[in-house]
Amino acid sequence: MLKPQGRRGEVAAELHSDFPERFAQRTRLFALAPSGARRELELEDFWPHKGRMVLKFRGVDSIDQAQALAGCEIQIPEEERAPLEAGAAYVSDLVGCELVDAGRNCLVGTVEDVVFGAGEAPLLSVRAGGRELMVPFAQEFLRRVDLERKRIEMVLPEGLLELDQPKADGEKN
């Protein structure tokens, strides 16, 4: 959730769901704070507004109460998730997967997050040793997603893994 929206406790949220209409049937949601704290919420109402979704929760009736939800991720219980079409995956299923560059047959790192809004394809935030790599989760690079084995195989473009690496001594910008 991004920020308060209105004066009665509404919250503007970025939507990462292909099923916004399911809010009508699903009123029990959870807010996961950046600190890791989880809070159960009851969805009272929702509506689209300027490319975002506005959410109104029961008992959240002021700007200050809505502000306390800013930065939280809204989640639904796993058993209540909508089935996905073949080839699609939930963000929570991708986090923790090993990313393998099948073209070079090497382990790249572990997916820590999925970032939306940086282009057409979401970006996998991958921890590779002490570095964070942003890898486009684009169909053209994807070879296989094995959620059971927590493994994503991609053929990455030449030079992608070298982006943002520190320069060697004596190397010019």
- Per-residue pLDDT reduced to its tens digit, 14-37: 877 666 777 777 788 999 888 989
Domain 3-79 -> CATH class:
mainly beta
pLDDT band for position 135 (50/70/90)? Answer: very high
β-pair partners for 134 = 125
pTM of the model: 0.67
Mean pLDDT of 163-173: 55
Domain 91-161 annotated CATH 2.30.30.240:
yes
Domain spans, the chain: 3-79, 91-161
**Which residues have C-beta within 8 Å of that of residue 116, sequence separation ≥ 6?**
14, 16, 122, 123
Asked if the model's pLDDT at residue 149 lies above 90, the reply is yes
Mean pLDDT of 108-119: 88
**Which residues have C-beta within 8 Å of that of residue 58, sequence separation ≥ 6?**
41, 42, 43, 44
